[in-house]
Amino acid sequence: MYELERALKEHAERVCASFHMPGHKGRKPDGVLPPELYGLDVTELPFSDELFEADGAIAQLEAEASRLFGSGATLISPFGATSCIQAMTALAAARGKLLIPRNSHYSVFNAVGLCGAEAVVLPAAPSDETPAGVVPAEAVEAAFLADPAISALILTSVDYYGYIADVSAFAEICRRHKRLLLVDNSHGSHLRFIEGLKHPLECGADAVCDSIHKTLPAMTGSALLHFADARLAASAKKLMKRFCSSSPSYPIMLSIAAALGWARDEGEKAYNKLAERLGRLKNDIEAYGFRVLRGDPCRIYVTGGETGLSGAETAARLARFGCVPEFTDENGALLMFSPMNTEEELSRLTGVFVTAEKKKQLLPKPERRDIILRRAMSIAEAFRARCECVPAEESVGRIAAECVGVYPPGLPSVLPGEYIAALPEGLNMKRILVVKE
């Protein structure tokens, strides 16, 4: 048990009169949450440490996270990976421009706008390995040579669909050109524990954000920010403080502690067992005529392939067998796994795919529909501009003041500061923030 867990458990078991936040005073009102949770939900007190000035229980938890992941220093965040992305973006933006592939998550571009940073946006090349597209290493090197003011590359790996980039190759390019490599590894914290794979830190990244609640057994909002060089961590923690609440959630931090303890004791065995089981499941699904993207061993993005089933039809079959996917689109479904999934749950998927009837006519290969992009102002300028919120259909022809795209997966089709030439297919935004005319 980590010190934070021990301190909060002892506090919850003491009979104390609470004259501090929060207002529930450790007692449960009516509702669905378990009463034990309220006793553990405290504020920053002498025994519970202070997140942004940690020198006690939280500092110990961060040191344990650093040891587990092999970093120079690790910061914990109960505010999700977004806060980690904001902190490392602000850290790099103080040094110069940022090179950002267009297939980055909304949160990366939002961090650019909030920091007032200058971004060089790199197009992503189409790929059969991921619908998000990939970043050619030679394009990164060319960008560095063309613009000496670029200080860092922000790379996404693992991506939403499970594609794992060659982080080592990008790290070598960044080292050669004396640039920082920052990796949004929100979907890949489990790579640390799988034989034959490497966490981005092990590949030479300077800073890595892990949204551990996505693949480790942690509550939503649990995240880690790792640094290869411990000297960067102190500044990053102060920068993170700029963006985050001054009232961190102790239940989420306890969940981080529990997840790290589980990963330390069981992670390697559990994830390797899961990866082997899912490897067999992927082979079976492909044998039934479906197409499965290979990459993250703990994730499956499956499309109709030779069966001719659409994404909606696959989603309906999943629902029939009591399976809830992470995401479905017109082409297929994304399934995310962890060692917390049971064998019975995995066996349901066999039923989903083995009993599917093939259609006589296959679906045509989806056409790539690119929106013609034209920039009116920088991302930072769009964030500072006067804006208004309009119905999505009225935004065409206007300048976007926010990222516009289908969510999930949260990959923007139009960036802040660009004209909205057309609405992306399948857009689920009802209203859009645009620059006021």
Say what the alpha-carbon torsion angle 216, 80, 382, 93 is, to the nearest 10 degrees: -90
Query: DSSP letter at 397?
Result: T
Same domain, 249 and 339: no
Q: How far apart are CA 340 and CA 325, in angstroms?
A: 15
Overall domain count for the chain: 3
Q: How far apart are CA 110 and CA 403, in angstroms?
A: 8
Does any domain span residue 149? yes
Does any domain span residue 209? yes
Last residue of a domain, one of 263, 294, 316: 263
pLDDT band at 360 (very low <50, low <70, confident <90, very high): low
Same domain, 107 and 49: yes
pLDDT of residue 187: 98
- Residue 422 maps to which CATH number? 3.90.100.10
- Which amino acid belongs to residue 94? A
Q: Under 8 Å CB-to-CB from 202, ≥6 apart: which residues?
A: 70, 192
CA atoms within 13 A on the CB side of 350: 12
Supply the pTM of this predicted model. Answer: 0.95
Same domain, 230 and 122: yes
CB atoms within 10 A of CB 368: 8
Does any domain span residue 307? yes
| Beta-ladder partners of 122 | 101
pLDDT of residue 361: 64
Work out the average pLDDT over 335-355. Answer: 94
- pLDDT at residue 373 tops 90: no
Q: Under 8 Å CB-to-CB from 242, ≥6 apart: which residues?
A: 86, 90
Lowest mean pLDDT of 41-55, 157-171, 210-224, 369-383, name the range: 369-383
Does any domain span residue 363? no
Expressed as residue numbers, the domain containing 426 is 369-437
pLDDT digits (tens, 9 = 90+) for 300-316: 999 999 999 999 999 99
Which carries the bigger pLDDT value, residue 365 or residue 339? Answer: 339
Number of H helices, E strands in the chain: 13, 13
Q: How far apart are CA 202 and CA 315, in angstroms?
A: 37
Q: DSSP assignment of 9-24, as one string?
A: HHHHHS-----SS-TT
Last residue of a domain, one of 263, 291, 315: 263
pLDDT band at 30 (very low <50, low <70, confident <90, very high): confident
pLDDT digits (tens, 9 = 90+) for 43-74: 999 999 999 999 999 999 999 999 999 999 99
pLDDT digits (tens, 9 = 90+) for 92-113: 999 999 999 999 999 999 999 9
Same domain, 280 and 257: no
Give alpha helix (H) positions in 147-203: 167-176
Nearest in space to 110 (alpha carbons), one of 370, 421, 327, 412: 412
Return the CA Rg of the chain.
23
Does any domain span residue 360? no
Q: Under 8 Å CB-to-CB from 239, ≥6 apart: which residues?
A: 86, 87, 90, 91
| Structure token digits, residue 71 | 């970093």
Same domain, 141 and 283: no
Average model confidence (pLDDT) across the chain: 95
Q: DSSP assignment of 311-344, as one string?
A: HHHHHHHHHHTT---SEE-SSEEEEE--TTS-HH
Task: Give the whole-number percent of the chain exceeding pLDDT 70.
Answer: 97
Lowest mean pLDDT of 189-193, 257-261, 305-309, name the range: 305-309
Same domain, 108 and 237: yes
Same domain, 154 and 282: no
pLDDT of residue 368: 59
Nearest in space to 427 (alpha carbons), one of 412, 160, 312: 412
Pairing of strands 223-227, 73-77: antiparallel
Residue 257: φ, ψ to 5°: -60, -45
Q: How far apart are CA 44 and CA 249, in angstroms?
A: 10
Does any domain span residue 361? no
Same domain, 311 and 413: no
Same domain, 113 and 254: yes
Does any domain span residue 241? yes
Same domain, 113 and 198: yes
- pLDDT at residue 132 tops 90: yes
- Residue 325 maps to which CATH number? 3.90.1150.150
Let me know the angle formed at the C-alpha of 249 by 245 and 254, rounded to the nearest 5 degrees. Answer: 145
pLDDT of residue 354: 85
Same domain, 78 and 204: yes
Does any domain span residue 359? no
Last residue of a domain, one of 238, 263, 288: 263
Same domain, 212 and 97: yes
- pLDDT at residue 367 tops 70: no
Q: Are 75 and 224 in contact (CB under 8 A)?
A: yes
Q: How far apart are CA 64 and CA 394, in angstroms?
A: 51
pLDDT of residue 358: 79
Work out the average pLDDT over 214-231. Answer: 97
Q: How far apart are CA 150 and CA 206, in angstroms?
A: 15
Q: Buried b vs exposed e over 356-366: b needs ≥16 C-beta within 10 Å?
A: beeeeeebeee
| Beta-ladder partners of 207 | 182, 227
Nearest in space to 338 (alpha carbons), one of 278, 254, 410, 252: 278
